[in-house]
Amino acid sequence: MWYLIPIFFLGVLTPIQTAANSRLRQSVVSPFIASLVSFSVGTIFLLIVTLCEKGGILIDRELFSSLPWWAWLGGVCGLWGLTVNIIIFPKLGAMQTALMPMLGQIVMGIIIDSFGLLHSPNFPFTFLRFISVLIILMGMFMVIYRKTSGQKGESKLLWQAIGFSGGAIFAMQPSMNSLLSIGLYSSVHAAFISFFTATVVLILIAVVVPSNRVHIPQIFSLDRPWWSWLGGIIGGTFVTGFAFFASKTGIGILLVTSICGLLANSLAIDKFGWFGTVKKRIRPVQYLGLICVVVGIMILRLN
């Protein structure tokens, strides 16, 4: 039960990471270059921590044959989850961009737990767990929902499905990194490999796509606050924590508890206008929704 506290605070870090990466994107224009900077900083940070912990980053050759091939793909899953938000935001708006990936995370997390997929602990999907998931989803919707003008247009089902897939694929990352951390005897080393893989993919994208290359010199612009560089470090801490806790709590609890921290800090940032954001009035129903999420987590954890 005590694991829920640090997992909650990992979720609290997520909106701070988003704010840092968003400010970084304002300077470098390209979302892919912003992601490249964030992942590169995270990779360097995790490299230093891994060297301090283990004295090296070399991998035993036998580990490649002993682990399943998918255990090395955590970085790709994390990168896809990040990229999906960039893709769907112009099509769905802020509310659905937040909601659809979260829904994908929770559904995939429950599936992984229920069937013990990806070498994760097995937690049978009981009726009580079903009720707890409904309470959590209702609470999430209450926190995120904002009334919009109901304009009709093209179907958004495709973009909603892409958003859902981003969350679902991201939900696989903790299991992959957890298995990798067991083989490496280090959650930090596993997170480093995850970040390094994503960084290599982003470098290839930056090199291949001409529209991204022109923004590379803007990386070193001094016209931005110091905290805009923290996104990668926060992301590295987040992935390391997930790799550590995944085998101890189950993926469903891990994801839902971190989402609770994310929602709580998002409300605080909106209310007080932190990190240069515009202050927004927090409605009572949003506080009630956060309480519903907490209650749902307690029921899910105690089941």
Query: For residue 29, what pLDDT is reported?
Result: 65
Q: Which residue has the higher pLDDT, 300 or 48?
A: 48
Query: For residue 303, what pLDDT is reported?
Result: 65
Count of Cβ atoms closer than 10 Å to residue 148 Cβ: 10
Query: For residue 119, what pLDDT is reported?
Result: 86
Query: For residue 222, what pLDDT is reported?
Result: 58
Per-residue pLDDT tens digits for 241-251: 999 998 888 88
Percent of the chain with pLDDT over 90: 29
pLDDT above 90 for 190: yes
Residues 180/243, Cβ–Cβ less than 8 Å:
yes
Query: For residue 275, what pLDDT is reported?
Result: 77
- The residue-averaged pLDDT of 183-206 equals 91
Query: For residue 220, what pLDDT is reported?
Result: 65
Per-residue pLDDT tens digits for 155-176: 678 888 998 998 999 999 999 9
Query: For residue 135, what pLDDT is reported?
Result: 92
- Two tokens, residue 167: 């969350």
Query: For residue 195, what pLDDT is reported?
Result: 94
Per-residue pLDDT tens digits for 251-295: 888 888 998 998 898 888 888 888 777 788 888 998 999 999 989
Query: For residue 219, what pLDDT is reported?
Result: 65
Secondary structure string (H, E, C) spanning the chain = CCCHHHHHHHHHHHHHHHHHHHHHHHHHCCHHHHHHHHHHHHHHHHHHHHHHHHCCCCCCHHHHHHCCHHHHCHHHHHHHHHHHHHHHHHHHHHHHHHHHHHHHHHHHHHHHHHHCHHHCCCCCCCHHHHHHHHHHHHHHHHHHCCCCCCCCCCCCHHHHHHHHHHHHHHCCHHHHHHHHHHHHCCHHHHHHHHHHHHHHHHHHHHHHCHHHHCCHHHHHCCCCCHHHHCHHHHHHHHHHHHHHHHHHHCHHHHHHHHHHHHHHHHHHHHHHCHHHCCCCCCCHHHHHHHHHHHHHHHHHHHC
pLDDT above 80 for 76: yes
Which is nearest to 232 in space by CA: 58, 90, 74, 78? 78
pLDDT above 60 for 154: no
